[in-house]
Amino acid sequence: MLIKRATDIQPSEITDRGVYLQRRAFIRAAGLAVLSASAAGALYTNRSARAGEKVFAGVSKSPFSTTEEPTSYKDATNYNNYYEFGTDKDSPARYAGKLKIKPWTLMVEGEVKKPRIWAIEDLLKTMALQERIYRMRCVEGWSMVIPWVGFALGDLIRQAEPTGKAKFVEFVSVYQSDNMPGLRLPVLSYPYIEGLRLDEAMHPLSILAVGMYGEVLPKQNGAPIRLVVPWKYGFKGGKSIVRIRFVERMPQTAWMKASPSEYGFYSNVNPAVDHPRWSQAKERRIGEFMKRKTLMFNGYADQVAGLYAGMDLKKNF
């Protein structure tokens, strides 16, 4: 019987959460002991014998985190937008299990001095992981507070060394025609593309997330790696990213192509700029009954307002 050490385990070998829990119940019934992984160099460890889920080890707390109470894990993983799996909020949790994430690579290309194809395992070993509890605001009017596990996008950008021509960063999501039923719906053009201005991407609040609630990122939330930009509406956070391109011209994002009068490139959370079909002045936090006022830049104005000094935010929506 081959037994792997904790330091040998690759993220792509980690069993899905639901399968793992079923296996754990079987093992308990059989009376087998559960061993904890405690090697200091492991990427993952067991949270406890009670929980048993695979979680990240050695993750530091981020000073950028909000002190607000996080949304429940159940809500955050069962009420999602991921149109490649359908337009209903429960469709991602129902259908994303078919998403193939092993093996996974991330290509960094375009106007950079050091293009590279990263294996997800190498990224996890190279980048400094933090837990960042961010407010998340969806353009439809609902919001959450999610503890992400990830690393600063700027850390990856600095390794790539953008050239002087790089003005924007384009993010391309995976396209799996056999596993994504939503690709057949006439809503968006695929693969899903999002983008940021280079200075937005370099801002320390912008992260690439590989986990949430201390655990490996679920497929319905954009596994194995996704973009999180907390001062923008949620659709700006491209999921299951396979390619990052540094370009000279502003990318045409998926929602800009679908409806340019409704979805602009910047898509900053702004209570003064309504969506053509609904107000953005208030939001409903998932798990709460009453609505609350929407905060400018989703509450991150002190950190990011300077990025848009002198800009007309109603025109550049």
pTM of the model: 0.84
Query: Domain ranges in the chain?
Result: 6-56, 60-308
For residues 116 and 160, the answer to whether their CB atoms sit within 8 Å is yes
Q: What is the pLDDT of residue 29?
A: 36
pLDDT tens for 68-114 read: 999 999 999 999 999 999 999 999 999 999 999 999 999 999 999 99
Q: Where residue 57 falls among pLDDT bands split at 50, 70, 90? A: confident
For residue range 160-217, list pLDDT tens digits in order.
Answer: 999 999 999 999 999 999 999 999 999 999 999 999 999 999 999 999 999 999 999 9
Q: Report how far residue 305's alpha carbon sits from residue 296's, in angstroms, rounded to the nearest whole number.
A: 9
Superfamily of domain 60-308 in the CATH hierarchy: Oxidoreductase, molybdopterin-binding domain (3.90.420.10)
Q: What is the pLDDT of residues 5-49, one digit of tens each?
A: 333 444 434 444 443 344 344 333 333 333 233 322 334 333 322
Dihedral over Cα of 292, 298, 302, 306: its sign = negative
- pLDDT for the residue numbered 54: 58
Concatenate the DSSP letters of all residues of 155-177 into one string. HHHHHH-B-TT--EEEEEE---T
pLDDT in tens, 129-176: 999 999 999 999 999 999 999 999 999 999 999 999 999 999 999 999
For residues 181 and 82, the answer to whether their CB atoms sit within 8 Å is no
Cβ(121)–Cβ(105) below 8 Å: no
Q: Are 284 and 142 in contact (CB under 8 A)?
A: yes
Cα gap 129→116, rounded to integer Å: 20
The pLDDT value recorded for residue 17 is 44
What's the pLDDT score for residue 58? 82
Q: Report the pLDDT averaged over residues 44-66.
A: 64
pLDDT digit string (tens) for 227-281? 999 999 999 999 999 999 999 999 999 999 999 999 999 999 999 999 989 999 9
pLDDT of residue 10: 46
pLDDT at 1 over 80: no
pLDDT score at 9: 40
Amino acid making up residue 250: M
Alpha helices by DSSP H, 242-297: 254-258
